[in-house]
Amino acid sequence: MKYISLPHNITHRLPFYLAMEEFVARNLDEDECFFMWQVAPTVIFGRNQLIENEVNLEYCRTHGIQTYRRKSGGGCVYADPDNIMFSYVARAQNVNFTFDRYLRLVAFVLRKLGIPAEASGRNDILINGRKVSGNAFYHLPGKSIVHGTMLFNTDMEHLVRAITPSNEKLISKGVESARQRVTNLSEHTNIGIEEFKQFVREQLCESTIQLSEDDVAIIKQIEAEYLTDEFIYGNNPRYTLVKRGKTPAAGELEIRMEIKNGIVKKINLLGDYFLTGDLDNGLLKPLTGLPYKEEDFRHALESVNVGSIVLNLDTEQLLNILFKEDK
Question: pLDDT of 133-157, one tens digit each?
Answer: 999 999 888 899 999 999 999 998 8
Residue type, 177: S
Number of domains in the chain: 2
My answer on whether 160 and 306 are in the same domain is: no
Structure-model confidence comparison of residues 22 and 101, the more confident one: 22
What per-residue confidence (pLDDT) applies to 156?
Answer: 87
My answer on whether 249 and 229 are in the same domain is: no
Residues of the chain with pLDDT > 70, as a percent, come to 93
pTM of the predicted model as reported, rounded to 2 decimal places = 0.84
Residue type, 211: L
- Yes or no: say if 276 and 95 are a contact pair by the CB < 8 Å rule: yes
Select from 140, 196, 177 the least CA-distant residue to 28.
140
Q: What is the pLDDT of residues 80-115, one digit of tens each?
A: 999 999 999 999 877 778 888 899 999 999 999 999
My answer on whether 126 and 224 are in the same domain is: yes
Rounded CA gap, 269 and 254, in Å?
6
My answer on whether 86 and 133 are in the same domain is: yes
CATH for 258: 3.30.390.50
CATH for 124: 3.30.930.10
Domain that residue 186 falls in: 2-233
What per-residue confidence (pLDDT) applies to 171?
Answer: 33
- Yes or no: say if 154 and 187 are a contact pair by the CB < 8 Å rule: no
Say if residue 39's pLDDT is above 90.
yes
What per-residue confidence (pLDDT) applies to 170?
Answer: 46
My answer on whether 192 and 263 are in the same domain is: no
Q: What is the pLDDT of residues 175-194, one digit of tens each?
A: 466 567 899 999 999 999 99
My answer on whether 229 and 247 are in the same domain is: no
Q: In what order do the strands lie in the sheet containing 66-69?
A: 66-69, 42-45, 77-79
My answer on whether 302 and 224 are in the same domain is: no
Sorted by sequence, the CB contacts under 8 Å of residue 297 that are 6+ apart come out as 287, 290, 319, 322, 323
What per-residue confidence (pLDDT) applies to 181?
Answer: 84
Select from 200, 147, 158, 218 the least CA-distant residue to 182.
158
Provide the pLDDT confidence category of residue 161 given band limits of 50, 70 and 90. confident
- Yes or no: say if 311 and 95 are a contact pair by the CB < 8 Å rule: no
What per-residue confidence (pLDDT) applies to 237?
Answer: 59
My answer on whether 110 and 217 are in the same domain is: yes
Say if residue 121's pLDDT is above 60.
yes
In degrees and rounded to multiples of 5, residue 183 shows phi and psi of -135, 155
- Yes or no: say if 158 and 63 are a contact pair by the CB < 8 Å rule: yes
**Which residue among 233, 254, 289 closes a domain?**
233
My answer on whether 163 and 308 are in the same domain is: no
Strand (E) or helix (H) holding 8: none
User: Stretch 233-239: mean pLDDT, rounded?
Assistant: 70
Provide the pLDDT confidence category of residue 79 given band limits of 50, 70 and 90. very high
Structure-model confidence comparison of residues 292 and 169, the more confident one: 292
Provide the pLDDT confidence category of residue 167 given band limits of 50, 70 and 90. very low
Residue type, 235: N
Structure-model confidence comparison of residues 222 and 238, the more confident one: 222
Say if residue 165's pLDDT is above 70.
no
Provide the pLDDT confidence category of residue 168 given band limits of 50, 70 and 90. very low
Select from 157, 142, 187, 178 the least CA-distant residue to 80.
157
**Which residue among 199, 233, 267 closes a domain?**
233
My answer on whether 84 and 190 are in the same domain is: yes
What per-residue confidence (pLDDT) applies to 100?
Answer: 87
- Yes or no: say if 67 and 18 are a contact pair by the CB < 8 Å rule: no
My answer on whether 149 and 33 are in the same domain is: yes
**Which residue among 202, 217, 233 closes a domain?**
233
Average pLDDT, the chain: 90
Residue type, 25: A
